């Protein structure tokens, strides 16, 4: 209960900051929400649904490669992905992230393989996002199209170096987890009953990670491209649908849209993003788009309007995912 209250306080504080920073009122946000054509919202909802299908395809390959004997159907994995994303938005401090392991267990996936799927999925998400943001920063910085943003060039270089480091972590994940497990043994954590259980489970996860070949990791990296093309597509379609535009009403360029959207998504990964994700995501959206020439009032209002509509899609598709999973007979796995 305390976590919910704290997350709500953080959300209200972030929204209040945006209202003050942008000089807007709730009516301005409501106006932006109402301005989106129904066809645009339905297009975004369709793209949003494809995200879960692409996630399911990536997850299916990772589970099969990790040695899971009974890989669920694409339907079940799509439902589990939709339910997982809803949980991660609704539950505070990102504790809903772990729900993917629970949902996968309901469709027959053992816990250690579910955890491998979760870890690798999120690492590939972060790798793809950092790469996209790095390239976007380089393009914007080197183009000189946005005066005052030349510092994006070195930032883009650093982000791409970070992407290489993340790729190394993904390829050596089993070895790194094994090192951590051995260090915990030396520290004496196995002397307790719970320590022994944690060590035994970690050993299973390590074995599953080590069994994933580089070819499967390469395939997962390729599946991450349509996942993130769809994610950014939803952000761009909904954002422009609620009125996101330049200072004189002109359309923003592709890399302007990618920059603001990527910053918002990066903010959503922060554990303090609070109840329903309101907080750092909205601040990242507002700052990112203001940096590329969007008026503050528009950046703040469209960010909150976009977020509201995005959550409607997450709620509808996530509820459908929960319903599909609820129809399945309980697995004995």
Residue 198 to residue 87: CA distance in whole angstroms:
25
248 Cβ partners below 8 Å, 6+ apart? none
- DSSP SS3 for 309: helix
Q: Which of 100, 124, 127, 128 is nearest to 114 (CA)?
A: 100
CB 108 within 8 A of CB 72: yes
Residue 295 to residue 289: CA distance in whole angstroms:
8
CB 51 within 8 A of CB 227: yes
**What pLDDT, on a 0 to 100 scale, did the predictor assign at position 320?**
97
**What pLDDT, on a 0 to 100 scale, did the predictor assign at position 332?**
44
Residue 107 to residue 325: CA distance in whole angstroms:
8
**What pLDDT, on a 0 to 100 scale, did the predictor assign at position 324?**
95
**What pLDDT, on a 0 to 100 scale, did the predictor assign at position 12?**
76
Q: Which of 217, 121, 207, 225 is nearest to 168 (CA)?
A: 217
Cβ atoms < 10 Å from Cβ of 161: 12
Domain spans in the chain, listed from the N-terminal domain onward: 2-327
Residue 306 to residue 312: CA distance in whole angstroms:
10
Indicate left, alpha or beta for 18 from its phi (over 0: left) and psi (-120 to 50: alpha). Answer: alpha
pLDDT tens track of the chain, all 333 residues?
A: 655 666 667 677 778 888 888 888 889 999 999 999 999 999 999 999 999 999 999 999 999 988 877 789 999 999 999 999 999 888 765 677 889 999 999 998 988 888 888 989 999 999 999 999 999 999 999 988 788 888 999 999 999 999 999 898 888 765 565 555 565 656 556 556 565 565 565 666 666 677 788 899 999 999 999 999 999 999 999 999 999 998 888 889 999 999 999 999 987 776 554 566 777 888 899 999 999 999 999 999 999 999 999 999 999 999 999 999 998 876 544
């Amino acid at each position: 209960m305390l976590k919910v209250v704290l997350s709500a306080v953080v959300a209200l504080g972030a929204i209040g900051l945006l209202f003050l920073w942008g000089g807007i009122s709730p009516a301005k946000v409501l106006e932006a929400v109402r301005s989106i054509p129904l066809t645009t919202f339905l297009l975004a909802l369709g793209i949003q649904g494809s995200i879960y299908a692409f996630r399911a395809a990536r997850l299916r390959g990772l589970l099969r490669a990790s040695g899971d004997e009974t890989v669920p159907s694409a339907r079940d994995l799509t439902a589990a992905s939709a339910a997982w994303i809803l949980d991660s938005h609704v539950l505070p401090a990102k504790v809903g992230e772990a729900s993917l392991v629970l949902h996968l267990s309901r469709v027959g996936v053992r816990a250690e393989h579910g955890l491998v799927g979760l870890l690798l999925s999120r690492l590939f998400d972060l790798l793809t996002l950092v790469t996209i943001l790095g390239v976007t920063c380089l393009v914007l910085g080197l183009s000189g199209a946005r005066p005052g943003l030349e510092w994006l060039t070195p930032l883009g270089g650093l982000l791409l170096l970070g992407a290489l480091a993340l790729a190394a972590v993904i390829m050596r994940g089993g070895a790194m987890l094994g090192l951590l497990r051995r260090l915990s043994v030396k520290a004496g954590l196995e002397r307790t009953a719970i320590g022994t259980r944690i060590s035994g489970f970690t050993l299973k996860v390590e074995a599953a990670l080590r069994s994933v070949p580089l070819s499967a990791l390469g395939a997962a990296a390729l599946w991450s491209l349509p996942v993130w093309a769809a994610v950014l597509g939803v952000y761009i379609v909904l954002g422009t649908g609620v009125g996101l535009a330049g200072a004189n009403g002109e359309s923003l360029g592709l890399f302007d849209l990618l920059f603001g959207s990527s910053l918002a998504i990066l903010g959503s990964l922060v554990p303090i993003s609070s109840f329903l994700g309101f907080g750092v995501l909205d601040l990242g959206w507002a700052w990112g788009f203001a940096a590329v020439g969007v008026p503050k009032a528009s950046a703040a209002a469209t960010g909150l309007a976009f977020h509201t509509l995005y959550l409607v899609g997450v709620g509808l598709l996530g509820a459908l995912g929960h319903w599909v999973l609820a129809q399945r007979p309980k697995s004995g796995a």
